[in-house]
């Protein structure tokens, strides 16, 4: 076997290189400060290049001044223009990108300064990749804020953007953030000369192991995606769960959902549990209103027409009971001690169910006493017989 054949085989058996040296390539792509100067000033700058540290300081001062001017004047000018618009979203976007502009200019200035001074060898060669990573981080941070603001603004304009609403907003925001994070991680790996393809190949095996170890967490994540997609409830809805929890939905996350009970206690429920449970959404339907039911009893001797008229009058006179749909009374059954009657009325907010029911019960008790109507309770008659033979 020839030496060339053995050499080719040995090279083919080697694993693909994941990390490559891109420090030199990155430094070569960055212009020097003298390249950015007009031709008239370049001869004067050549004199300063004889003192590398002074050159670095001067370049950093120039870029700091540029960053300050952009942040203090250019951004303020844009913010002044956006302040005259009706929407507050553009003001929030400008505020989000303000620190990004300053950071990007300063870190780019550090790269130019080190390249101009010749600090590109040894440990100093890592300055350019580090500064570039910080630029990506600053842009990524601003992009995450801006994406959330834009999606929230679009979800409020349901007339033009029907795909965006309050229920799909959390899912779209989460997906956009994941996409931005993946793009940022990909660019950062390229900056440091790491081949993402090689990492993805090895991450597949690790992903299988992690999947078995964290199956409950993954179940919650997938259930969270399905909940955000199916939209069984939204933020602010009142829900009842199989476990007896009832409260207002305050947060819909990718892993869990949080509800605030009437006892002012926040309950965090894994999405995997909610995905396999029956959820009663009291705020669902065509409108926000909810019907409450007040169960009472009247004596068998009472006039049912009079009782019905009294109960409807109580409901109509209560300011928190809706006039439309109108309240109604139904006779449900004959009980052991009296006739079971139910008063039904609609209220505006499900959260007021307990309080309004409490007020109605008090008003019914007082009205029955004033009208001489009995609210029956269990009674027992005891008969005593005397045996004459004793």
Region of 36 please: left (phi>0), alpha (psi -120 to 50) or beta.
alpha
- Residue 227: exposed, middle, or buried by beta-carbon count in 10 A (0-12, 13-18, 19+)? buried
pLDDT tens for the 390 residues of the chain, in order: 444 444 444 444 444 444 444 444 555 666 666 666 666 666 666 666 677 787 788 888 988 999 999 988 888 888 888 888 877 888 888 888 989 999 999 998 888 888 877 777 777 788 888 999 999 999 999 999 998 888 888 877 766 666 566 656 777 787 888 899 989 998 988 888 887 776 666 666 666 666 665 667 777 777 877 787 777 888 888 898 887 888 989 888 778 889 998 888 899 998 888 888 888 888 877 777 889 999 999 999 999 999 999 999 999 999 999 998 899 999 999 998 899 999 999 999 888 888 999 999 999 999 999 999 988 888 777 887 776 655
pLDDT at 349: 86
- What angle (nearest 5°) sits at the alpha carbon of residue 133, between those of residues 113 and 15? 115
**Beta-bridge mates of residue 293:** 344
The DSSP-derived string for 140-179 is HHHHHHHHHHHHHHHHH-TTT-TT--TTTHHHHHHHHHHH
Same domain, 169 and 295: no
Domain that holds residue 179: 13-211
Same domain, 191 and 253: no
pLDDT at 203: 63
pLDDT at 191: 86
The answer to whether 110 touches 3, Cβ cutoff 8 Å, is no
Residue 364 counted as domain residue: yes
Position of tokens 């909810």? Answer: 290
Residue 27 CA to residue 129 CA, distance in Å, equals 9
Which tokens hold the place of 149?
Answer: 């603001």
Residue 266 CA to residue 247 CA, distance in Å, equals 9
The answer to whether 144 touches 180, Cβ cutoff 8 Å, is yes
User: How far does CA 11 lie from the centroid of its chain?
Assistant: 50
pLDDT at 172: 79
Same domain, 319 and 248: no
At residue 40, the 3 state secondary structure works out as coil
What is the tally of structural domains in the chain?
3
How would you classify the pairing of strands 280-281 and 266-270?
Answer: unpaired
Answering whether pTM is above 0.85, one says no
Same domain, 164 and 247: no
The answer to whether 299 touches 376, Cβ cutoff 8 Å, is yes
Same domain, 63 and 29: yes
Residue 180 counted as domain residue: yes
Residue 359 counted as domain residue: yes
pLDDT at 204: 64
Residue 219 counted as domain residue: no
Residue 74 counted as domain residue: yes
Orientation angle between helical segments 196-213 and 169-191, nearest 10 degrees: 130
- Residue 384: exposed, middle, or buried by beta-carbon count in 10 A (0-12, 13-18, 19+)? exposed
Q: Mark which of 211, 241, 268 sits at the end of a domain.
A: 211
pLDDT at 126: 85
The answer to whether 152 touches 169, Cβ cutoff 8 Å, is yes
Same domain, 240 and 165: no
> CATH number, domain at 365?
3.30.70.100
Same domain, 195 and 128: yes
User: How far does CA 301 lie from the centroid of its chain?
Assistant: 59
pLDDT at 377: 84
At residue 346, the 3 state secondary structure works out as strand
pLDDT at 13: 47
Residue 321 counted as domain residue: yes
Residue 355 counted as domain residue: yes
Same domain, 240 and 269: yes
How would you classify the pairing of strands 280-281 and 256-261?
Answer: unpaired
pLDDT at 212: 60
Where are any strands of DSSP class E within the chain?
A: 238-240, 246-252, 256-261, 266-270, 280-281, 290-298, 328-334, 339-347
Which tokens hold the place of 278?
Answer: 């029956």
Which tokens hold the place of 286?
Answer: 């065509």
């Amino acid at each position: 076997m020839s030496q060339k054949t053995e050499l080719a085989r040995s090279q083919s058996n080697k694993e693909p290189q994941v990390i490559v040296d891109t420090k030199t390539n990155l430094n070569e792509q960055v212009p020097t400060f003298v390249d950015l100067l007009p031709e008239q000033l370049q001869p004067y700058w050549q004199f300063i290049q004889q003192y590398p540290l002074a050159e670095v300081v001067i370049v950093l001062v120039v870029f700091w001044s540029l960053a300050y001017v952009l942040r203090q004047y250019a951004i303020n000018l844009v913010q002044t223009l956006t302040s005259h618009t009706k929407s507050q979203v553009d003001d929030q976007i400008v505020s989000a990108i303000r620190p990004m502009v300053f950071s990007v200019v300063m870190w780019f200035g550090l790269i130019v300064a080190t390249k101009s001074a010749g600090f590109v060898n040894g440990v100093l060669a890592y300055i350019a990749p580090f500064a570039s990573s910080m630029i990506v981080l600053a842009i990524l941070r601003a992009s995450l804020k801006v994406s959330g603001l834009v999606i929230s603004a679009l979800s409020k304009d349901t007339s033009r953007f029907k795909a965006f609403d309050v229920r799909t907003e959390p899912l779209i925001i989460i997906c956009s953030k994941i996409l931005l994070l993946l793009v940022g991680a990909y660019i950062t790996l390229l900056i440091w000369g790491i081949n993402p393809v090689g990492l993805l190949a090895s991450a597949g095996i690790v992903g299988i192991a992690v999947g078995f170890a964290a199956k409950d967490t993954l179940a919650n994540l997938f259930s969270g995606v399905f909940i955000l997609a199916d939209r069984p409830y939204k933020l602010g809805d009142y829900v009842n769960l199989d476990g007896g929890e009832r409260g207002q939905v305050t947060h819909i996350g990718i892993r869990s959902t949080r509800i605030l009970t009437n006892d002012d206690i926040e309950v965090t429920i894994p999405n995997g549990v909610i995905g396999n449970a029956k959820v009663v959404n009291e705020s669902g339907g065509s409108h926000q209103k909810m019907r409450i039911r007040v169960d009472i009893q009247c004596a068998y001797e009472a006039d049912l027409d009079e009782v019905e008229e009294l109960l409807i009058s109580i409901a109509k006179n209560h300011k928190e009971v809706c006039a439309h749909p109108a309240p109604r009374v139904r006779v449900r059954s004959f009980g052991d001690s009296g006739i079971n009657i139910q008063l039904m009325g609609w209220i505006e907010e499900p959260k007021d169910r307990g309080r309004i029911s409490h007020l109605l019960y008090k008003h019914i008790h007082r009205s029955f006493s004033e009208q001489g109507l009995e609210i029956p309770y269990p009674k027992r008659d005891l008969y005593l017989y005397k045996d004459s033979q004793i």
